[in-house]
Structure 1
């Protein structure tokens, strides 16, 4: 048994009581063994002095596209449908196994360095194993799956799938990777959105997800043009259509869900559907402002995700937390979406969206040791006297304040130095593989 002791931290537990305590956290193997009080150093193999630092659960990002990280800055200033058809789909179509791997590594490095320890990821049509390999090697926790596309106009030939083959390839990936890395990797079926999927594919996903007891992750109601296409082709709005074909169930996680009517919100609430909010992406693509306070009042689990690097252009949860709060305050007034609510969305709220609230999302005995240490000894987060810790973390801290990150009991960054990813090598290979990818366009 390996033991890691984190000493003298301010511990923001994010437990049900919202307790903030001073003391030690002992990790045994990959789980939290004790929280608070004082633990003798002789009991630990590794001791981290966290005096002056804040210990938090790692962030849980509920919508990421690792395969798109290479495309940062190559799809700016467009609306969603043009963004996909003109830039993203052609770029994804040019991917090979090499470029997917380094795109994933580039994104994971950014995520870990900014305190994110768990992601819900959606890959592209091909080469998904390369992303799983990067996830496995880097140490991040992830639910991921190949994107599924068997329908739509202006889709590049390499992304056009046959329905049966899309389902078959997804099942093969699931059977190989679901539960890999001692359970750190899980599989999800990822039909891109209704615009890209036949009803046959979506009902196949419905049945297979039930058979294998895994999640379904898709985009829905992100953009009004998208909704118009769905209504034209299927005769119903997005969520109503998904409910009619039996996909609106507790294992369904919807990205964005901006343009919901009352009936769709009722379906989401009553069927136990989960939602992931992507404020940076929604603002940059001018998609709209999601009904986050309303969904939370309805009791709907809502997490936060950065989406992809070409529509954000970073994967920084600190920025997403600020935007989550600020954009709703403009609409509803300054008292809505306080810092504690937003930090909960980024931790326990995300865990609930993924159905992992009993394993991650808070610093509690028995939970998996997915943790981050913030060093808040700097100008931009002072004064510290009589501080509101939630305010300091959500409104003032930045990703540069993340000092140490642990996933599954393994230290993946300490003192801002990565231990599982060779930064200079990944940066160099990202440029090389992008250069090669662009030559294939």
Structure 2
């Protein structure tokens, strides 16, 4: 069993007591086994962290790795046009190679910015390629193929038969769920009600219950989307999902911006989880989710960057700042303080994924998913009598992340991602995109 000793860091634990201590962290295998000053355990690897801040790795609860290759190719559109005119045609042209490199490109950016766990929704085909990139990179992920069996404006290459979509999802689950010694898990990912038949959604409900895995879908992101669902199904998104039995503790809803009181009640009473994507919601002009009210109601809310074409970064530092700032405009400066926002990015995300007992804080017994920040920079000073939450949320940048561990393994050191060949990945990203665009014609 390998071991790592991180010495003399400021440890922002994000535990229940909100402790911030100076000391060491000792890791055996993939778990934290000791925290305290002056630890004397022998270790295979020692990381000197004097002047650095140690905190949990970020947990991003809504990502589309398959879309990273499309960064900058779908700007300045609202959601439905963004999907129909740009994203769906691009996804339809994906190959095994382009999905793999798109995922690797996204994961490199995520690790570089301190993200150690993601909830990822892929495209209809070639999902094995994304899982291979996840496995090779060392990131922790819950991921699944997107499911689409409805909609006249969906490209032919993305149109599935209901039984084929369910069958392929199960095949992927049985192959990848629990892979990489449990670092990889599966989730069923129907895209949203607009592109899914009721038969498919009911099938997902039953399979989720059978296998005990998450269901991840978009809901109430855009008012046009809600109007389409009401016209076709006779109910708003969350009410409809509840009526067919999908609203429950295994359901994670991306966005949830335009909720009425009944939908909020259903989410709270059924134990549904929500993921907030402020940069994406602002760029697509979708709106601003009522996050303070959701948190006040005890609803678990995580943060995610969404996909590169609607952001255009996968940067949790950006998401934290925006999550705080957009609410302050409406509710006043005391709402969404730095500590509460950092919790959303760590323990809050872990709760959304049902993994709060394993990740999201620096505590003995938890998985060693950690990041070290080097805040010895102009933009993060002065440091005297520092409010660490403020420095991390309001001042720090993704470029300040120095070292990242996932599952006790150092995947980035000295700001260099060790598990991904950066030069080759960037070169192949351009080549794969050029070939993908040629397939569209």
| Fold equivalence (TM over 0.5) | yes
Mapped partners of 1:415, 1:165: distance in 2: 45
Partner of 2:223: 224
Q: Who is 1:257 aligned against?
A: 256
Q: Which residue of 2 aligns with 1:15?
A: 15
Per-residue CA deviations over 1:352-410 (Å, capped at 9, x if unaligned) read 00000000000000000000000000110000000000000000000010000000000
Map 1:30-49 → 2, pairs under 5 A: 30-40=30-40, 43-49=42-48
Q: Tell me if 1:360 matches 2:353.
A: no
Following superposition, the deviation at residue 212 of structure 1 comes to: 0.5
Structure 2 match to 1:279 = 278
Provide the TM-score with structure 1 as the length reference.
Answer: 0.99
Tell me, which stretches of 5 or more residues in structure 2 are unaligned? none
Distance 2:337 2:39 in 1: 34
The equivalent of 1:102 in structure 2 is: 101
1:233-266 Cα distance to aligned partner (Å, 9 max, x none): 0000000000000000000000000000000000
How far did residue 2 of structure 1 move? 1.0
Rounded to whole Å, the distance in 2 between the matches of 1:418 and 1:165 is 37
- The residue that corresponds to 1:131 in the other structure is 130
Could you tell me which residue of structure 2 aligns to residue 347 of structure 1? 346
Counterpart in the other structure of 1:233: 232
Structure 1 position 267 matched with structure 2 position 266 = yes
Q: Between Structure 1 and Structure 2, how many residues are aligned? A: 440
1:433 corresponds to: 432
The within-5 A match list for 1:328-343 is: 328-343=327-342
Between the aligned partners of 2:239 and 2:416, the Cα distance in structure 1 is: 47
In 2: Cα distance, 1:391 partner to 1:88 partner: 36
User: C-alpha distance in 2, partners of 1:305/1:188?
Assistant: 16
Quote the residue 1:405 is aligned against: 404
Q: 1:152-301, aligned counterparts within 5 Å?
A: 152-301=151-300
Q: CA deviation at 1:337?
A: 0.1
1:2 correspondence with 2:11:
no
CA distance in 2, matches of 1:313, 1:304: 15
Shift of 1:153: 2.4
Runs of 4+ in structure 1 off by over 3 angstroms are none
Question: How far is 1:37 from its partner?
Answer: 1.7
Distance 2:186 2:399 in 1: 31
SS of equivalent to 1:43: coil
Give me the TM-score of the superposition, normalised by structure 2: 0.99
Does the residue aligned with 1:336 lie in a helix, a strand or coil? coil
Distance 1:88 1:50 in 2: 42
Instruction: Name the residue aligned to 1:27.
Output: 27
> Residues of 1 paired with 2:161 and 2:231: CA distance?
23
Distance 1:23 1:125 in 2: 47
Instruction: Write the deviation string for residues 70-117 of structure 1: whole angstroms up to 9, x where unpaired.
Output: 000000000000000000000000000000000000000000000000
Q: CA deviation at 1:417?
A: 1.2
Q: Secondary structure at the match of 1:276?
A: strand
What secondary structure, in the 3-state scheme, does the structure 2 residue paired with 1:440 have?
helix
Partner SS state of residue 289, structure 2: coil
Return the offset for 1:13.
Answer: 0.3
Distance in 1 of aligned mates of 2:419 and 2:54: 21
For 1:153 and 1:48, the matched residues in 2 are separated by 55
| Shift, 1:36, TM fit | 1.8
